[in-house]
Copies of this chain bind each other. A is one copy, B any other.
Amino acid sequence: METPAHQSDHYFTDEERAAVYKCIYSRRDVRGQFKPDPVPDEVLARIIKAAHHAPSVGFMQPWNFLLIQSPHTKKKIHDIFLRANEQAADMFEPEQSAIYQKLKLEGIIESPINLVITCDRDRAGPVVLGRTHDKSMDLFSSVCAVQNLWLAARAEGVGVGWVSIFNKKELKQALKLPKSVTPVAYLCIGYVEHFYTEPELKSAGWRERLPVEDLLCFDEWGNMNRDGNEGLYKALSENID
């Protein structure tokens, strides 16, 4: 077998690396700042291709991209969201529920593009390399595609919001998904007035960002002994938020 080719561009410049971090840190879950301006075909194609170049278990590429632009379909999906969101509000304690009901959680109607990233669980037959012992790995591959698309979109100045408050059976029915296909992410996509500096749920006081250094442990769960890893703790504690 021929030896596979190596990348000639192994290293990133400081500027390139900084751009990647800028993208990761400035990406937001957008719900309410969509502009009606159309997203050009080339831009949409670039962010879909970025998704398609996500890692996938067994190189399975289990995703499809279901593009929704018609007001009729959007309205149908929005109704499914509204029903689920009402149920969701009732699940919280009264005080939290009152806050919940004031939050804007989706931009289905206002965003010019809705895109569903799915997972076809039968894409590569019943036995898939790497999925033999964890049946969720194909779903996880589709999630990697979502995150690639999200970051590419941010670099294009395009906002993305992930809506997850749906009765899945109703959503599948509305999109006519076959049994083997799971809707992994329902995304609202479009240019935005602005990106917030912080996640909206943080600004709304819903939850705080956790100190990352508290989430680290060594060799086994609960071992927080920093001996020999003081440098890593220090580097993690330095605020680059």
Contacts and interface: CB of A to CB of B under 8 A. Distances in A.
A217 to B, nearest CB: 5
Interface residues of A, number: 126
A189 to B, nearest CB: 13
Nearest to A57: B164
Given A139-B136, A220-B176, A5 B84 contact: no
A133 interface: yes
Given A133-B166, A221-B181, A212 B17 contact: no
Q: Pick the most buried of A10, A148, A215: most chain B CB atoms within 10 A of its CB.
A: A215
Nearest to A206: B59
Nearest to A81: B133
A121 to B, nearest CB: 13
Most buried by B among A55, A67, A103: A55
A41 B88 contact: no
A4 to B, nearest CB: 4
Contact of A155 (B12, B25, B144): B12
Contact of A207 (B59, B199, B217): B59
A147 B152 contact: no
A156 B215 contact: no
B50 A132 contact: no
18 contacts: A1-B204, A6-B196, A17-B155, A41-B231, A44-B232, A55-B162, A61-B207, A61-B215, A65-B215, A67-B229, A68-B218, A73-B219, A100-B129, A130-B164, A133-B166, A136-B139, A140-B140, A147-B148
